[in-house]
Amino acid sequence: MRGHKDQITAIRFLCKPLSGGVISENTTQDYLLSSSKDTLLKLWDLSTQHCMETVVAHRSEIWDFDVSKDETLIVTGSSDPEIKLWTIDHDVLAQGLESEKRVITLKFHPTANILGVQGPEKYVEIYRIYSYEEIKKKLIRRKKRQKEKKQKVDDSNMDIDSDLVEISASDMITPYRMVRTSSKIRSFDFSTKDDITKSGSIEILVSLTNNTLELYTMGLPMKKKEKFLETAEPSKLYSVDLPGHRSDIRTLALSSDNELLCSASRSNLKIWNMRTTSCLQTIDCGYALCSSFLPSDRNVIIGTKSGDLELFDLASSSQTESIKAHDGPIWSLQVRPDKRGLMTGSTDSNVKFWDFDMSQEDDNKLLATGSADKNIKIWGLDFGDCHKSIFAHQDSITCVQFVQGTHYIFSAGKDKLVKYWDGDKFENITKLEGHHGEVWALAISRRGDLLVSGSHDRSIRAWEQTDEELFLEEEREKELEELYDSTLTTSMEKATLEDNVESTSAGKQTMETLKAGERIIEALDIADENNAAWETYVQLKERGQNPGPPPKPNPILVALGNLTGDQYVLRTIEKIRSSELEEALLVLPFTKVISLFQYLDLWAKKDLLGYNLAALKYIKRDWESNNTAEFFDDIPKNEEMNSGAYSERLRSWWSNLQIIYAGEESRKLITIADIRGPNMFFDTIAEKHEERESYKWNRAHQEVPRKFLTRGRIVESVPDFERLIRPFCATCDEV
């Protein structure tokens, strides 16, 4: 829970009061108080994990607070020399917030000064937005009224600019109208027509949760003689409700020629044209649970929740007969293969396979049933035995249908899936994903090339058979991959911990953290491969063997600007969010962790070249500004060495002089770092190898100071110094 802007200093739990503000011993602690150095005291609702109230308790940091035993007082202390007492209103806590409504949609009208606000209720609130001139006139009238009350007539105080400071949100935006609908609103929008000034009204299109569209018109405020006239209340112009169902689609049925589709819900039965996907007829009916076209496709029969069978004539769009068939809901209805009757199944005691869907294939040898135990049972009608029980869905099965003339089965369930089965081999062929809610109904064409499904999301989906072949092995591999991906995040969090661990990481494995870890592994593989190729090339070259051309870098490194391996790994890690980095690193195997440590050690090294180049630029400017040097005359060595003036002068001169050699090829950097009396020696500011095996180092270190002393004067030019110091610089290869 985030909300404080500084360190949190104290937290306390509060109990959730019962009705009337009473606190019992069994009351749960559903609230949390927190204080912080940002001077705020916050009340949190743990059930929703949101802040309910924020109080600016002190002018300085709050260091601690406590709650009394009866939870009626709160004492807070801060850096100020004072203690504040706060009371807790348990009646307000018991009632909750004054309004639990939330704002769903906000829209400005494209041309008019109108704002629409939609909540979860059955209305849209319309607000009027005033212009700058209207606000200014309103403030002038307000000030005039104030002056009339106070009987002040001083015109000098009529400063409009000072009045504008007093503008509040209520002056700019005020409630205007409220558009009420017949059902809860899902979304709304304004019409974009340009002639609102002529018509004096705006239109609002509203989409309702019962799958209905409604169009409302509302008049704009009319201005007449510096006054705005009130307009009529919003009125409904049109309503589009017949082409769709107002509730869940519970059953579907296809005609024998696949030209018509019957869909039924709680109160309506609709006939659709499958070619144009348009609604042809809407007939009132009972709460339909199953349906079917009768032979010749002129009649439709449905089974209802009340146990009735209702027969409808499509030519007259009317109900011709209603029969009380069962004492309970009729869940399954199937026309017999001989076209002489139909089968029904209900929840009453007259049906053995009850509660749910039942379907029989054409040769009267198999029967498939589905139930709330998530299993499909395939029965043999010759002996009445159960051939196979298949765990088919992750939730209750709502519908089972045979493909006509075959032993293939389609099943639907509350897990939003439609599955295709082989009734002879008892194998799942494929699954159809697309619905966003429970699938309640299925309808299959006679040839089995068209499947229609209806769902709780109030959508009807038509599935067509393609010529693409399905391989069961590939389908099983896809299912295993999906199962692995779905359990991967949870399995990472179920690592074995000690029993006495009191706290653990607050992180959570997600697919994003797993993908981030895979990106790190991929970057390490590319970097290791690139580094290994270069190491092999260098080793062969040192042995005197022909290593061939230099190894080519990875195309990814070239595309990113010829990055090195460690630079590519660093860039990959930098792109991962800090909140996901810890969980992403937990994905790495042990071998990759060792490789990552090597790159971490490389990144942690100090970049001496950058510091040296910066110093080089500074010294170059200083040398160019002082391009003349002070020289000493040749004087006897003994007199000068014993002379304090010479020694002091020489010490002062050398302590302020820094001579840098920076070659374009080698980029080496040295400096004269210390002078100890007449004995001068050179030292490098760069790192030197621990073992100095080259004899050039010893020779340069011994001879260069001696040449300076015997000459008795400073070198006369920079090239002379370069000539003397070059052997010394040759040992600084690591720079």
Q: What is the pLDDT of residues 347-394, one digit of tens each?
A: 876 654 433 345 555 666 788 888 888 889 888 877 778 888 889 898
- Residue 37 shares a structural domain with residue 110: no
- Residue 195 shares a structural domain with residue 315: no
- Residue 330 shares a structural domain with residue 462: yes
- Three-state DSSP at 205 gives strand
Per the structure, the complete domain to which residue 671 belongs is given by 608-729
Number of structural domains found in the chain: 5
Q: What is the mean pLDDT of residues 170-188?
A: 82
- Residue 711 shares a structural domain with residue 662: yes
Quick check: is 100 in a domain?
no
Percentages (nearest 5) of helix, strand, coil residues in the chain: 25, 30, 40
Cα–Cα distance measured from residue 236 to residue 215, given in angstroms and rounded to the nearest whole number:
6
- Three-state DSSP at 207 gives strand
Q: Alpha-carbon torsion 406, 412, 416, 419, what sign?
A: negative
CATH of the domain at 272: 2.130.10.10
Q: What is the pLDDT of residues 283-297, one digit of tens each?
A: 889 999 999 888 878
**Cβ(127)–Cβ(177) below 8 Å:** no
Q: How far apart are the first and last CA of the chain?
A: 50
- Residue 77 shares a structural domain with residue 130: no
**Cβ(244)–Cβ(208) below 8 Å:** no
Name which residue leads in pLDDT, 650 or 36. Answer: 36
Q: Which residue do the tokens 């000034």 mark?
A: 197
CATH of the domain at 35: 2.40.10
- Residue 314 shares a structural domain with residue 436: yes
The torsion angles phi and psi of 409, rounded to 5 degrees, stand at -125, 140
Instruction: Of 80, 85, 93, 75, give the one whose Cα is nearest residue 10.
Output: 75
- CA distances to 295, 343, 369, 432, 442 from 338, rounded to whole Å, are 10, 12, 21, 31, 22
**Cβ(714)–Cβ(629) below 8 Å:** yes
| 648, two tokens | 């002091």
Q: How confident is the model at residue 167 (pLDDT cuts 50, 70, 90)?
A: low
Q: What is the pLDDT of residues 552-611, one digit of tens each?
A: 888 888 888 888 888 889 889 888 888 888 888 888 888 888 989 888 888 776 555 566
Quick check: is 273 in a domain?
yes
Quick check: is 3 in a domain?
no
- Residue 600 shares a structural domain with residue 615: no
Q: What is the pLDDT of residue 410?
A: 92
Q: How many CB atoms lie within 10 A of CB 463?
A: 17
Q: What is the pLDDT of residue 27?
A: 54
Q: What is the mean pLDDT of residues 70-76?
A: 84
Q: How confident is the model at residue 419 (pLDDT cuts 50, 70, 90)?
A: very high
- Residue 567 shares a structural domain with residue 685: no
Cα–Cα distance measured from residue 439 to residue 452, given in angstroms and rounded to the nearest whole number:
11
Quick check: is 503 in a domain?
no
Residue % of the chain over a pLDDT of 70: 70
| 702, two tokens | 């011994």
- Residue 203 shares a structural domain with residue 320: no
- Residue 380 shares a structural domain with residue 458: yes
Please work out, in degrees rounded to the nearest 5, the angle formed at the alpha carbon of residue 606 by the alpha carbons of 600 and 607: 110
Name which residue leads in pLDDT, 248 or 91. Answer: 248
Q: How confident is the model at residue 453 (pLDDT cuts 50, 70, 90)?
A: very high
Cα–Cα distance measured from residue 37 to residue 550, given in angstroms and rounded to the nearest whole number:
60
Q: Which residue do the tokens 């399954």 mark?
A: 332
Cα–Cα distance measured from residue 338 to residue 255, given in angstroms and rounded to the nearest whole number:
17
Quick check: is 489 in a domain?
no
Instruction: Of 377, 408, 407, give the one whose Cα is nearest residue 392.
Output: 377
pLDDT-wise least confident of 274-288, 292-306, 352-366, 721-735: 721-735
